[in-house]
Structure 1
Amino acid sequence: MTYDLQAVRDRFPILRRQMGDRPLVYLDSANTSQKPQEVVDAVADHYLRHNANVARAMHMLGEEATDAYEGARARIGRFVGAASPEEIVFTKNASEALNLAAHTLGAGLGPGDEIVTTVMEHHSNIVPWQLLCERTGARLRWFDVTEDGRLDLEGAEAEGLINERTRIVTLTWVSNVLGTCNPVAEIARRAHAVGARVVVDGSQAVPHQPTDVTALGADLLAFTGHKMCGPTGIGVLWGRHELLETLPPFLGGGEMIEVVEMERSTFAAPPYRFEAGTPPIAQAVGLAAACDFLDGLGMEAVAAHEQQLTAYALERLQAIEGLRILGPTEAVDRGSALAFTLADVHPHDVMQLLNSRGVAVRGGHHCARPLHRRFGVQSTSRASSYLYTSPEEIDALAEALVYTRDYFAPRARG
């Protein structure tokens, strides 16, 4: 099946924007993706025709809203290969999903227990575990990375890192900085061999490649809607149902309860046990529409397009004198996020000068400060493509980077 890039781009009205006298070149999709017309229409239609609270009102609008919300749960479950809709827990973003995992899995941890993560994690998959260790006395340990940005699973420091004291192993599937695609199944095998639970941050993976949670090896998987053509304000925690049934509530409030008495309360079955209060109803509808859109393209086709584009971007950027890419320099087991430094130019200056030429990238530590420290840099610039990115936009990025380097060169010599 031919991937019709222009037809894909035509579904994203924002890509037709002009930035002054230049076309928009949007290369910040690892931060948030753009939204196709289908998703915008689905959210608007819900608010205009079906808006009501769910699981409460018995009138027609309430029934329609509940059907749409639970239909979205089932649709998103199918998108990631969940065994049942009840394995899908809605949150407001992946950060909340990871906090939910840390709070609930952490019940019963204490001194002597260990949690293992990696140095390449987003802060959202570091801080919740740090807080859990502070509450319980457990110890946080982590895998390092090699100089080429791969997870160091065989070095001396990695030996024995997962052991009989390990209770939880948590890692990113694909790094939001390095683009590295980690061997989740292998790490899960090691973790399960010692009885540990495995939590995966799939925020940079689920939007870009086919996902089968039953084959991944994880026990819990977090991802977010706004990076996969869906709305902001909705995230997902997938969990094996037999595990979800054993976990305590995360937040208290309406709809997560079974019976409330002044003395005590009992709680609903998963996933409702973890969804206190009014949920992100329209956002769930929008995310379901995004799943329809992505499956219509075919996730295999999306992944193939991105791999070709990433290979081209690596080739173009590595040809620029003074530019250093962090992470793998070949498009093998690698996502589309490209973090780099450019000569002596600060990433914020790179970001601003590229913006003046219509090119949108991100500059900073990308919520991964420990990883940047590991590579001896304070921050980087990051260009991240997606299913709507064209080779011509990679050319525009490369040309803008050369312009930026040359613009700042006299100042650097001075």
Structure 2
Amino acid sequence: MFASSAYAAASVLAHSFGSTLKKGDQVLLSAMESDHMVIPWRVAARKWGFKLKVFRPDMTEGGEFAFGEFAGMVSGNTRLIVFQHACPVFGSFNPLNEFMEFATGCGIPVAVDATHSLPWGKVNVQQLRCDFLLVDCGAIGAPRGSTFLYGRMERLQRLPPVLGGEDTFEQFYMGKLKVKLARDVSNWASVPERFEVGLPPLAVGTAVATALREHERNMDSDLIARGEQLGAKLYLELSSNPRLKVYGNAMTLRIPCATFTVDDADEAALAEQLRKHNTFIDVGSHGSRVAHKEELQVESSLRVCLDPRIHTLEDVSKFCHVVEIALKELDG
């Protein structure tokens, strides 16, 4: 199905899947998920009464997820695992294959958010073996918020509609006639009609399809490798500055992004100073406010993202040098 935002798509999955759960059932969610995944699942847990369990990264190891801790949290009551393919805060790909093998062995479905991995590579659903996949395609050229939600047919056929629409149910009954409730499986429309209310978002679907075709055509193995090299060099050079706290670690496969905070300086002030050098980076929580406040315990951070199509390793060194200059200027 297509949606006008990642929040909308995640909400459909959270409330549809959540409505099938009962008290005592659990959904396992990583602590570093983007807000568009965290908030819908928290709302659904409050509404439907299931338990939302959070598995956290080891911050002493640069935010790496420990497989042992994750496996220890899975129980006979775990009904779904929600996990990012790549974490923009740590600037790295997550060990999804290891997690998927474990979940598959336990018979637990997995929902993957590939919003932050698709821009830097290709996402093969068959290789991931996930049951649900959500991607906001704004970062690959589609209009901002253009999102699709994929699900395995055998999984989607078990899920009820979330909202009522003309094509959501096979038939309606009014007054004293027999009432068909939403939980009556025989009355649900086929997939994907049961999840679409009114006219489908045709513009979003067209934009997503165009962006995906263009991305598939341009993204080759050399470009993917270049992005990994940029990400590794960016992390190492920023980490060499003792005033910067760069999240993540050098041992993981990195995307060409880095998130960092500054000791004894305001992040917004540094971002403003960098603008004077024609260097523009993001300041804020970058769509991960919950992760910033609850896990990193900071209000905001700085994030730089490079494009392997235009940036070089030399550009990384230039950027890090400009950061040093801007910090000295702030010190007066």
Match of 1:300 among 197, 203, 221: 221
Task: Determine the structure 1 residue equivalent to 2:276.
Answer: 356
- Deviation per CA, 1:9-28: give whole Å up to 9, x if none: xxxxxxxxxxxxxxxxxxxx
1:12-27 correspondence to structure 2 within 5 Å:
none
Match of 1:274 among 181, 195, 203: 195
Read off the aligned partner of 1:283 and give its amino acid letter: V
How far the C-alpha of 1:104 sits from its partner, in A, is: 1.1
Read off the aligned partner of 1:203 and give its amino acid letter: T
Read off the aligned partner of 1:297 and give its amino acid letter: N
Change (3 A) 1:159 1:271: closer
1:343-382 correspondence to structure 2 within 5 Å:
343-372=263-292, 373-382=294-303
- Distance in 2 (alpha carbons) for counterparts of 1:388 and 1:297: 9
Change (3 A) 1:267 1:139: closer
TM-score (normalised: structure 2): 0.87
Do structure 1's residue 152 and structure 2's residue 66 form an aligned pair?
A: yes
- Deviation per CA, 1:191-249: give whole Å up to 9, x if none: 33443221111111122222211221211010011012222242011111111111111
Read off the aligned partner of 2:88 and give its amino acid letter: N
Structure of greater relative contact order (alpha carbons < 8 Å, 6+ residues apart): 1
- Note if contact 2:27-2:52 (Cα within 8 Å) is conserved in structure 1: yes
Structure 1, unpaired ranges of 5+: 1-88
- Note if contact 2:285-2:301 (Cα within 8 Å) is conserved in structure 1: yes
Change (3 A) 1:317 1:133: same
Do structure 1's residue 114 and structure 2's residue 26 form an aligned pair?
A: yes
- Distance in 1 (alpha carbons) for counterparts of 2:277 and 2:172: 59
- Distance in 2 (alpha carbons) for counterparts of 1:95 and 1:361: 24
- Distance in 1 (alpha carbons) for counterparts of 2:234 and 2:317: 8
Change (3 A) 1:159 1:293: closer
Change (3 A) 1:286 1:377: same
Change (3 A) 1:188 1:177: same
How far the C-alpha of 1:325 sits from its partner, in A, is: 0.8
- Deviation per CA, 1:115-147: give whole Å up to 9, x if none: 111111112221222122212222111211122
- Deviation per CA, 1:90-132: give whole Å up to 9, x if none: 1112222221111111123122111111111112221222122
1:11-410 correspondence to structure 2 within 5 Å:
89-146=1-58, 147=60, 148-155=62-69, 158=70, 160-262=72-174, 264=180, 266-330=187-251, 332-372=252-292, 373-391=294-312, 393-410=315-332
Structure 2, unpaired ranges of 5+: 182-186
Read off the aligned partner of 1:247 and give its amino acid letter: L
Regions of 4+ moved over 6 Å: none
- Note if contact 2:232-2:254 (Cα within 8 Å) is conserved in structure 1: no
Across the aligned residues of Structure 1 and Structure 2, the Cα RMSD in angstroms comes to 2.3
- Distance in 2 (alpha carbons) for counterparts of 1:402 and 1:254: 59
- Deviation per CA, 1:293-337: give whole Å up to 9, x if none: 22222343331121122123223323334122111235x422222
How far the C-alpha of 1:395 sits from its partner, in A, is: 4.0
- Note if contact 2:167-2:196 (Cα within 8 Å) is conserved in structure 1: yes
How far the C-alpha of 1:264 sits from its partner, in A, is: 4.8
Question: What count of residue pairs does the alignment treat as equivalent?
Answer: 319
Sequence identity, in percent? 25
TM-score (normalised: structure 1): 0.71
- Note if contact 1:95-1:124 (Cα within 8 Å) is conserved in structure 2: yes
Change (3 A) 1:255 1:300: farther
